[in-house]
Amino acid sequence: MPPANPLYHHWLALATSCGDAIALREARGGREWSFAQLREAAAHAAPSPPLLHSSARGLGLIIDVLRSWRDGTVLLADDGSGVPPPPLALLKPGICHLKVTSGSTGGPRHVQFRADQLAADAAHIVTTMGLRREWANLGVISMAHSYGFSNLVLPLLLHGVPLWLLDNPLPETLRRALATSHPLTLAAVPAMWQAWDRVGVEFTPVRLAISAGAPLPVALETAVFARCGLKIHNFYGSSECGGIAYDRSDTPRSDATLAGTPLAGVTLACDPASACLRIHSAAVAEGYVATSTAPAPDAAAGPGAGTWLAPDLVHLDPQGEVYLLGRAGDFISVAGHKLAPSRIEEVLLRIAGVRHCVVFGVPSPNPIRVEDVVACVNLAAATDLADLRSAFNALPATYCPRHWWLCAELQPDARGKLSRSRWRERWLAQQPTPNPISTRPAQANLTGD
């Protein structure tokens, strides 16, 4: 049997020192586990296979993490993506953990980590955000995804930050957890913050509020702050390297492109050749797993050796603030102009009736235009399309979408993300044939002038 993961020895020392302090609580039923009880449960858990592909949730996932560490095996938390585990023979030496990327810039793929890289990410997050044992983490996001694993699981097992598990993120479930008045840290995604704010959830016991997974609209951040004085801190990270930047300010941002400043232990630079973000950090993954369906990229394109070139176009100001300007390859070419879809989405998300939106380019029937802008929006009842169009009055005409797709099905995924490529494919698939793109609208589509 391989030796235990060094993280397991760290956990044993932590659990011993914390003893009878509450480590884990399930909101439904109020069941609790002390650090000592969690240590004993993990010590007597079934042996782990060489690659533990865990579909467990809540306490079950925590135990799977610990038994994988105990037995020195590799853990892959099933995030619901349907991506099967890779053969063990394809992993690099010393790998103990696999994450699955969101697939927002291509097909999902496995990212491999050593123990020291996981520990570095947790240390960067705990230090930068000021996570405390006195402020339990409220678990409403998936712990199988990189965001939840780094912000909830690792702070619990490596730093003793207690975790309260909610079985769902519905407003009433959250209200019951907040009714205890216990000081809490609440990490969520923008779609959750929007749903909670829409029904007026009072966040009184929340001492630290975090949002990641997708851009946090400034209008939402400002509305929550104005209503109850809670500052939501924007957090920017990636499966390939963990935490990158964090908004440390005490008041709402005025610019939605501001991601924050680098986490402690993270150094950032703008790559001169691509204008994309170069991350240097001890938390950067060991690399992607190459398979027959996901061949290894060029060495410069993947994470490794403590650095990764992200696909995000950035501006870094002299104060170290990180401004995200869009993703390389996402720009829409309209009549000689390069438009960032994120800029158009930012305008739309400032409109009260826009619940969710995603913007992308499609081939234009007019070759001079090259592409047309499509805005897929999920609107609240009684929201007038004219309000959406008027929001672009102060911008050049090229920014106003040519096609409006009103779609109630548009919802972020479990990571809080909306894939432009997937919604673009859906839009194209519903267009009349033989013309791949037509100015004649399909059902629920409205085409501009």
Query: Which pair of tokens denotes residue 380?
Result: 């609240």
pLDDT at 437 over 50: no
Q: Are residues 321 and 334 in the same domain?
A: no
Mean pLDDT over 166-176 rounds to 95
pLDDT of residue 30: 86
Instruction: Please give the single-letter amino acid code of residue 409.
Output: E
Burial class of residue 310 in the structure, from the number of CB atoms within 10 Å of its CB (0-12 exposed, 13-18 middle, 19+ buried)? buried
Q: Tell whether 133 and 247 lie within a shared domain.
A: yes
What CATH code is carried by the domain that includes residue 314?
3.40.50.12780
Question: Residues 80-85: what's their mean pLDDT?
Answer: 82
Distance CA 62, CA 153 (A): 7
Q: Residue 437: what residue type?
A: I
pLDDT band at 215 (very low <50, low <70, confident <90, very high): confident
Shared-domain flag, residues 55 and 160: yes
Q: What is the reported pLDDT for 445?
A: 61
Give 269-284 pLDDT, tens digit per residue.
999 999 999 999 999 9
Residue 374 domain-assigned (yes or no):
yes
Boundary-marking domain end, from 325, 358, 376: 325
Query: Per-residue confidence at 442, pLDDT binned at 50, 70, 90?
Result: very low
Question: What span, in angstroms and rounded, lies between the C-alpha atoms of 133 and 160?
Answer: 6
Stretch 282-300: mean pLDDT:
72
Distance CA 265, CA 347 (A): 34
Residues 319 and 342 in one domain: no
pLDDT digits (tens, 9 = 90+) for 391-430: 999 888 889 999 999 999 999 987 788 888 899 999 999 9
- Asked if the structure places residue 257 within a domain, the reply is yes
Could you say which of 309, 325, 341 is where a domain stops? Answer: 325
- Percent pLDDT > 70 in the chain is 93
Q: Tell me what pLDDT residue 28 has.
A: 82
CA distance 92 to 421: 31
Q: Is residue 258 part of a domain?
A: yes
The mean pLDDT of 28-52, rounded to a whole number, is 96
Among 299, 325, 351, give the residue marking a domain's end.
Answer: 325
pLDDT of 449 strictly over 70: no
Same domain, 104 and 221: yes
Q: 344 and 320: one domain?
A: no
The secondary structure of the chain, three-state, reads: CCCCCHHHHHHHHHHHHHCCCEEEEECCCCCEEEHHHHHHHHHCCCCCCCEEEECCCCHHHHHHHHHHHHHCCEEEECCCCCCCCCCHHHCCCCCCEEEECCCCCCCCCEEEECHHHHHHHHHHHHHHHCCCCCCEEEECCCCCCHHHHHHHHHHHHHHCCCEEECCCCCHHHHHHHHCCCCCEEEEECHHHHHHHHHCCCCCCCEEEEEECCCCCCHHHHHHHHHHHCCCEEEEEEECCCEEEEECCCCCCCCCCCEEEEECCCEEEEECCCCCEEEEEECCCCCEECCCCCCCCCCHHHCCECCEEEEEEEEEECCCCCEEEEEECCCCEEECCEEECHHHHHHHHHCCCCEEEEEEEEEECCCCCCEEEEEEEEEECCCCCHHHHHHCCCCCCHHHCCCEEEECCCCCCCCCCCCCHHHHHHHHHHCCCCCCCCCCCCCCCEEECC
Please tell me the predicted confidence (pLDDT) of residue 439.
35
pLDDT of residue 440: 33
Q: Which percentage of the chain shows pLDDT scores above 90?
A: 73
Res. 434: pLDDT tops 70? no
Residues whose CB is less than 8 angstroms from the CB of residue 359 and which lie 6 or more positions away in sequence, other chains included: 332, 341, 342, 344, 345, 348, 373, 374, 375, 376, 401, 420
Whether the Cβ atoms of residue 326 and residue 313 lie closer than 8 Å to each other = yes
Query: Tokens for 163?
Result: 């975790």
Same domain, 281 and 372: no
pLDDT of residue 329: 80
Domain harbouring 338, CATH code: 3.30.300.30
CA–CA dist 222, 230 (Å, integer): 9
Q: Is the residue at 1 inside a domain? A: no
Q: Please tell me whether residues 280 and 347 are part of one structural domain.
A: no
> 250 and 380 share a domain?
no
The token pair at 62 is 């925590």
Q: State the first-to-last Cα distance of the chain, in angstroms, to the nearest integer.
A: 68
For residue 337, the enclosing domain spans 330-447
Residue 162 lies in a domain: yes
pLDDT of residue 416: 85
Determine if the peptide bond prior to 363 is cis (ω within 30°).
Answer: no
Q: What is the mean pLDDT of residues 211-216?
A: 90
277 and 139 housed in the same domain: yes
Counting the structural domains of the chain, the total is 2
Determine, yes or no, domain membership for 174. Answer: yes
The gap from C-alpha 90 to its chain's centroid, in whole angstroms, comes to 27
Q: Bridge partners of 314?
A: 324
How do 163-165 and 206-211 pair as beta strands? Answer: unpaired
Same domain (yes/no): 367, 241: no
Residue 103 confidence (pLDDT): 63
CA 333/CA 366 separation, integer angstroms: 12
φ, ψ for residue 307 (rounded to 5)? Answer: -150, 155
Task: State whether 287 and 379 are in the same domain.
Answer: no
Q: β-strands 206-211, 22-26: how paired?
A: unpaired
Question: Is the pLDDT reported for residue 150 higher than 60?
Answer: yes
CA distance 427 to 430: 6
- Give pTM, 2 decimals: 0.83
Q: Do the domain assignments include residue 56?
A: yes
Specify whether the CB–CB gap between 188 and 169 falls below 8 A: yes
The angle formed by the CA atoms of residues 307, 285 and 121, to the nearest 5 degrees, is: 95
Q: Are 212 and 237 in contact (CB under 8 A)?
A: yes
